[in-house]
Chains A and B, each alone.
Chain A
Amino acid sequence: MRGYRGQDWFRTARRVARYVAALIAVLIVVSIAYMAYDYARDEADEFFDNPIKQFKYGSTGGDRLAGIPSDIFKALPELCRDYLPGKGWQSLGFIFEDGMDRPIGTSKRHHLGFDRIGLNCSVCHVGTYRTNAESRPVVVAGMPANRLDLARFAQFLTSCALDERFNPWQVSQAAERAGERRSVLKRLLLEFVGVPAMREALILARYRFRFLDREVTPGPGRFDTFGPAKALLNWPSERIPPEQSVGIVDFPSLWLQGPRETAHMRLHWDGNNDSVEERNRSAGFGTGAIPTQADRKSLNFTRDWLLSDANQPPKYPLPIDSALADRGKGLYGEYCSRCHGANGRDFSGSLVGTVDPITRIRTDPCRLDNYTHALAAEQGNLYAAYPAERFSHFRKTDGYANLPLDGIWLRAPYLHNGSVPTIRDLLEPPENRPKAFYRGYDVVDQRRLGFIADLAQEGRNSFFRYETQCTANPAQCASERNPENRHDDNVCVPGKWAGNSNRGHDGPVYGTDLPAPDKDAIVEYLKTF
């Protein structure tokens, strides 16, 4: 058979097949090696040359646990546009700056094979203001995120992820339309790993966050801040008594943490902790920065910036009537300084940073009752594997903390639950304060100090109507539980408006009995803070 041509052909074919097989094997090995390398790679976008930028776009490490693949993050607003109030992430109050492809408050990290977008501190602590409706918004780091509707963001994510449209094909198509281009390998990974994994995670998140269904709609600038802690501990929210189920508060400002730390001021609205470090780590949990995943380098960098003197609120940008402010200074010294500090930078005062008992301040007690001894105790387990970082400062208190008023002109609406739109309203007795107003607008109200709050709509943007009590006609209100949203015994009373009361912080010692010109003077002086 020697010399038979067919056999030569066969040999050649076999040799070629061997080469091809080897080539394929090499390709497979290289691909697997690349994927393994890519899977193991953990790199976050960092801006350590610019603390404010790092604050706005740096990572807490939460993106490792809860980061959304960036392709999906880009695809979602278009994919599920009918679940959004307007166009894009902006419609939920996210702020986009020039030159960044993602909003303030998001970090980007390559982790487990994906570029992932997570939230960071600044999502709740960067806001905007405008001096008039025509001017461009000024972005202020450390200011409460007055326009961000976090609850609606959470709701949007779960609604979209559990929607039929959230399937591999439409998600990757929407990502491509939003400008994301990926290799075939990456696309397959996204379609058949990223999409199902995210859906699984959001099913869990939706169940754990069901506590939101049991309280008022937060609206922009607010959230239930200890609800997530209870969710992490897997407390069944339906078993928690209704009077302990309402914990919605305004996002606070983050300026000048140094003096707060030095003076061991009670932090959080009810003053349940006096360690800035612990408070930071606790807040970080909200972004997904759990102990084993936290990006300590980035968190420590941001902590140092928050503690530094550079972290100051901006000056009031509009004219101040200095004569009137001078008069206000005296009144402020007499009525306010003991609890709120000598001025906007000097926080001395015998009661600054202490807890004002609920029987005295008589503001809405729901948030106070929402934080319980049982929760404080269980929080002692958090960071248990890291002795130096473990939570040991949480305490149940009996009132709300007296805060310094630095940058108070940017911290509207006022009180812990944001129930009073302006400072001037806060100086009125509760019955004269607005029963309902609008949140989410960022034009400064120069006369009353705060943001303009009587505007329901501007262009296509409609604002969130905040009701402190029943505002319908008396007949309708009569059928509601606690329609006046009273809490006369200083304990939370369940009802449709629970947590939204604008009562308290009133009476002679709180200045609500002063004549109107005196109140105007105090308002003028507070502009200097």
Chain B
Amino acid sequence: MARVGRIAIWLVAVVVVLAAAGAVLVWWKFFTEGSQPLADDRARFHYGSLDSELVAGLPYPLFMILPRVFPDLIEKYATEGYGPQKAGYGGYGAFGLSWEEGQRLPIGLSIKRLGYERVTLNCALCHTTSYRLSRNEPPHFAVGGPAHTLNLQGLLRFLFAASHDRRFSASRLLPEIALHFPLDPLDWLDYSLVLIPATRAALHLAEHELGWMNQKPAWGPGRDDAFNLPKFILTQTPWDKTIGNTDFPAVWRLGDRSGGLIHSAGEAKSVYAVVATSAIGIGSLPVHDFEKRNEWIESFIAKLEPPKFSGNIDPASAERGKAVYAARCAECHAEGGARTGTAIPLAEVATDPEHVLAWRQENAERMNAVVRTLGARRADVQGAQDGYVARPLVGLWLLGPYLHNGSVPTLLDLLSPPEQRPKVFFRGYDVVDLEKVGFLSTGAEAAANGFLLDTGLRGNGNGGHTYGSDLAEPDKRALLEYLKTL
């Protein structure tokens, strides 16, 4: 008996040692945390991690080579809905991401090690404007501006399609990875047995969770369904027929907004709540440095300035326009205006109502319950108000197309009566329209490169906000001149 006992003890000891070694290996391969060397605040905003690696991190080597293995899928999903000259290549840049030369990935994508290097999203993905003043120059990037070129839906659909493709297998992906990354035998096992199958499964899950977006009009570049995302995914509310397609907003000088309502329909009352819920939305868990990081983001965008208008401004005309602005716009749009930062009732502003209808008080309460359970504080949101928030106008020349749903291509169009506004136009083309103020959205060049937006579709209505459409032509021109300076 004693001998059997001794053997048993030895066996147990061996098993324990092996298990411990295995645990250490797993921890080391999958969970050791790295740091990010980021030069300054701007770099941190562009490329910094929100620590969502655990929930939503894709292995960088795998992520990097996907466009090379699936060029046909890049072409399909980067050009769907666009004109014939839209580039269907260029890696992730094909989806309109802002990609600074010399960087590993476009702005808004972070690479951080958690066991292995993982790619996650951050605020800058949707809040960096890419623009050109002429078609023959490389793009400029305005940090904090709306990512009007970003085709987020196309990017997601690309990843989902890739995950269903036969090529999404270790036998095809690993040799491509091995061209660029040195892999030891353990890495081969790791990718073959864990990372590639797990990434595939995660993409399938994400696709399933986003299935509702295929039942609604396309987001198109520069937009997402801002509140249906948390409604259907985070709070697992049954899918409904609402449509909340909304332009990515600018986050310039958000410090000026304290006290007012934030989000298109006033769904939040503080910048902090917007930052915290947005971070949770892209997979950041309310643990560790969650609050500290959100506060840093809040402070960074509080004073973030837009670039100045790059074209010519006629100072005399702008001066006259200033008076028109003071008389007709300032009440709602000037900082400190009586109604600035409040929700203007739908009955009054009469812009497309769908966004307001998509997010009710019960949706907000459900979300608050989930977010509080996760452990986040000061992150409460509320149901959409009965109307849209009148925002202070900051960097207006780069905010096109206009209105919350991006349904009016230029400021000049916005100052026209709704029936004279373009019924279809092309968005997502990044050459600035210095005349009408906005981006080139009609004409051959825009049609060839842009995404066709049909204002006749649900959620895309271009009516309402008729303020100023009654102005005499010279006053309108003068006002436009002044608006360039904002």
Could you list which residues of chain A lie within 8 angstroms of chain B, going by C-beta atoms? 65, 232-236, 239-241, 290-293, 373-378, 380-385, 390-396, 398, 491
Q: Does B172 contact A (CB under 8 A)?
A: no
Chain B residues in 8 Å Cβ range of A373: 99, 101, 138-139
B418 at the interface (CB under 8 A from A): no
List B88-113 residues whose CB lies under 8 Å from chain A: 88-91, 93-94, 99-106
A-B pairs, 8 with minimum CB distance: A377-B99, A374-B90, A392-B102, A373-B138, A235-B89, A385-B181, A234-B68, A396-B138
Q: Across the interface, which residues of A come within 8 angstroms of B182, CB to CB?
A: 291-292, 385
Instruction: Determine if A376 and B104 form an interchain contact, defined as CB atoms under 8 angstroms apart.
Output: no
**Cβ–Cβ contact B89 & A236, under 8 A:** yes
User: Cβ of B434 < 8 Å from any Cβ of A?
Assistant: no
- B91:A390 contact, CB within 8 angstroms: no
- CB neighbours (8 Å) of A398 from chain B are 137
Could you say which of B60, B69, B99, B178 contacts A234, with CB atoms under 8 Å apart?
B69
**In terms of DSSP, what is the predominant structure of the interface of chain B?**
loop
Query: Most chain-B Cβ atoms within 10 A of its Cβ — which of A375, A378, A390, A398?
Result: A378
Given contacts A376-B101, A384-B104, contact A292 B88 (CB under 8 A): no
- Residues 35-72 of chain B, each 1 if its beta carbon lies under 8 Å from chain A, else 0: 00000000000000000000000001100100111011
- Residues on the A chain within 8 Å of B67, using CB: 233-234
Encode contact with A along B139-166: 1 for CB under 8 Å, 0 otherwise: 1000000000000000000000000000
- A390–B99 Cα distance when bound, in Å, is 16
Chain A interface mostly: loop
Tell me how far the C-beta of A381 lies from the nearest C-beta in chain B, rounded to whole angstroms: 6
Given contacts A292-B181, A377-B101, A491-B136, 9 further A-B pairs with CB under 8 A are A239-B75, A291-B179, A291-B182, A374-B89, A374-B91, A378-B90, A382-B180, A384-B181, A385-B182
Residues of chain B contacted by A239 (CB below 8 angstroms)? 75, 87-89
**Interface hits, B180-224 → A, CB 8 Å:** 180-182
Determine if B32 is an interface residue (Cβ-Cβ < 8 Å): no
Chain B hits for A390, CB < 8 A: 104
Docked CA distance A382–B91 (Å): 13
Q: Given A385-B180, A390-B104, do A233 and B87 touch, yes or no (CB 8 Å)?
A: no
Count B-side interface residues using an 8 Å CB cutoff.
34
B177 to chain A, nearest CB (A): 9
A393 to B182, CA, bound (A): 23
Given A239-B88, A385-B182: A234 in contact with B71 (beta carbons within 8 A): yes
Most buried by A among B60, B85, B104: B104
Assuming the contacts A373-B138, A394-B101, asked whether A233 and B91 have C-beta atoms less than 8 A apart, the reply is yes
Indicate if the CB atoms of B180 and A291 lie closer than 8 Å.
Answer: yes
- Which B residues touch A293, using CB under 8 A? 179
Who on chain B is nearest to A293 by CB? Answer: B179
Partner of B68, one of A233, A240, A375, A395: A233
Is the beta-carbon distance between A378 and B93 smaller than 8 angstroms?
yes
Q: Which residues of B contact A376 (CB under 8 A)?
A: 101-102, 138
Pick the contact of B91: A241, A291, A378, A491 (CB < 8 A): A378
Contact present for B89 and A240 (CB under 8 Å): yes
Instruction: Kindly list chain A residues whose C-beta atoms are within 8 Å of the C-beta of B137.
Output: 398
- Contact partners of A394 in chain B: CB under 8 A: 101-102
Taken together as a complex, chains A and B put the C-alpha atoms of A173 and B180 apart, in Å, by 37
A269 to chain B, nearest CB (A): 18
- A392, closest chain B residue (CB): B102
| Across-interface contacts of A292 in B (CB, < 8 A) | 178-182
A241 and B87 CA atoms in complex are apart in Å by 9
- Docked pose: A480 CA to B120 CA in angstroms: 51
Which B residues are CB-close (under 8 A) to A384? 60-61, 64, 104, 180-181
- Say whether, besides A239-B75, A292-B180, A292-B182, A374 and B93 are in contact (CB < 8 Å): yes
Report how far A143 CA is from B390 CA in the complex, Å: 67
B100 CB contact (under 8 Å) in A236, A291, A374, A377? A377
Within 8 A of A (CB), among B297-344: none
> Contacts of B179 on A, CB cut-off 8 Å?
65, 290-293
Q: Which of A240, A374, A380 contacts B102 (CB 8 A)?
A: A380
CA distance A355 to B60 in the complex (A): 35
Complex A-B: 17 CB contacts under 8 Å = A233-B68, A235-B89, A236-B72, A239-B89, A291-B181, A293-B179, A373-B138, A376-B138, A378-B90, A381-B64, A381-B180, A383-B180, A384-B60, A384-B64, A384-B181, A396-B138, A491-B136
Contacts of A235 in B (CB 8 A): 71, 89-90
Bound CA span A234–B172, Å: 14
Q: How far is the CA of A378 from the CA of B71 in the complex (A)?
A: 14
Contact A381 B91 (CB under 8 A): yes
Shortest Cβ distance from A376 into B: residue: B101
A393 to B103, CA, bound (A): 9
Report Cα–Cα, A381/B68, bound state, in Å. 12
Query: How far does the Cβ of B448 sit from chain A's closest Cβ, in whole Å?
Result: 10
Chain A residues, CB < 8 A from B99: 373-374, 377-378, 380
Which of A233, A239, A292 is the most central at the interface, judged by chain B CB atoms within 10 Å of its CB? A239
Q: Cα distance A293–B68 when bound, in Å?
A: 19
Contact of A290 among B85, B87, B180 (CB under 8 A): B180
Q: Which single residue of chain B is at the shortest CB-CB distance from A373?
A: B138
Contact partner, A385, options B61, B88, B90, B91, Cβ 8 Å: B61
A378 CB contacts on chain B under 8 angstroms: 90-91, 93, 99
Complex alpha-carbon distance, A291 and B99, angstroms: 22
Provide the residues of chain B in CB contact with A291, threshold 8 Å: 179-182
Chain A neighbourhood of B178, CB < 8 A: 292
* CA of A267 to CA of B99, assembled, Å: 22
- Chain B residues near A383: list those with CB within 8 A: 180
Q: In whole angstroms, how far apart are the Cα atoms of A259 and B180 in the complex? A: 31
Question: Please, which residues of chain A bring their CB within 8 A of the CB of B100?
Answer: 377
Instruction: Contacts A377-B106, A380-B102 given; indicate if A236 touches B64 (C-beta within 8 A).
Output: no
Residue of A377, A383, A396 with highest tally of chain B CB at under 10 A: A377
Neighbouring A residues of B94 by C-beta, 8 Å: 374
Question: How far is B89's CA from A381's CA once the two chains are assembled, in angstroms?
Answer: 15
Given A292-B179, A292-B181, A396-B138, decide whether A380 and B71 contact each other with a Cβ distance below 8 A: no
Contacts of A392 in B (CB 8 A): 102-103
A99 to B104, CA, bound (A): 46
Asked if B101 and A241 sit within 8 Å, CB to CB, the answer is: no
**Cα distance A395–B102 in the bound complex, in angstroms:** 8
With both chains docked as a complex, state the minimum distance between the C-beta of B362 and any C-beta of chain A, in angstroms. Answer: 44
Bound form: Cα–Cα A375–B101 in Å: 9
- Report the Cα distance A252→B68, complex, angstroms: 30
Q: Nearest chain-B residue to A369 (Cβ)?
A: B136
- Please name all residues of chain A whose beta carbon is closer than 8 Å to the beta carbon of B181 when the two chains form the complex: 291-292, 384-385
A80 to B80, CA, bound (A): 45
Q: How far is the CB of A184 from chain B (nearest CB, A)?
A: 31
Report the bound CA distance from A394 to B71 in whole Å.
Answer: 23
Query: Nearest B residue to A244 by beta-carbon distance?
Result: B87
Report Cα–Cα, A282/B88, bound state, in Å: 24
In the complex, the chain B residue whose C-beta lies closest to that of A375 is B90
Is A380's CB under 8 angstroms from B101's CB? yes
> Nearest A residue to B132 by beta-carbon distance?
A373
Question: How far, in angstroms, from A73 to B75 measured CA to CA in the complex?
Answer: 37
Cα(A286)–Cα(B71), bound, Å = 21
The distance from the CB of A183 to the nearest CB of chain B, in whole angstroms, is 30
In the complex, chain B residues whose CB is within 8 Å of the CB of A65: 179
The answer to whether A374 touches B71, judged by C-beta atoms less than 8 angstroms apart, is no
Q: What residues on B are CB-neighbors of A381 within 8 Å? A: 64, 91, 104-105, 180
Closest to B106 in A: A377
| B103 engages A380 (CB within 8 Å) | yes
| Minimal Cβ-Cβ distance residue in B for A397 | B138
Measured CA separation A491–B134 after assembly (Å): 13
Q: How far is the CA of A373 from the CA of B106 in the complex (A)?
A: 12
Bound complex: CA A383 to CA B93 (Å): 19
Residues of chain B contacted by A396 (CB below 8 angstroms): 101, 138
Residue of B nearest to A385 (CB): B181
Q: A412 CB to closest chain B CB, in angstroms? A: 31
Provide the bound-state CA to CA distance between A396 and B139, in Å: 10
A221 to chain B minimum Cβ distance, whole angstroms, is 29
Most interface-central of B67, B90, B179 (chain A CB within 10 A): B90
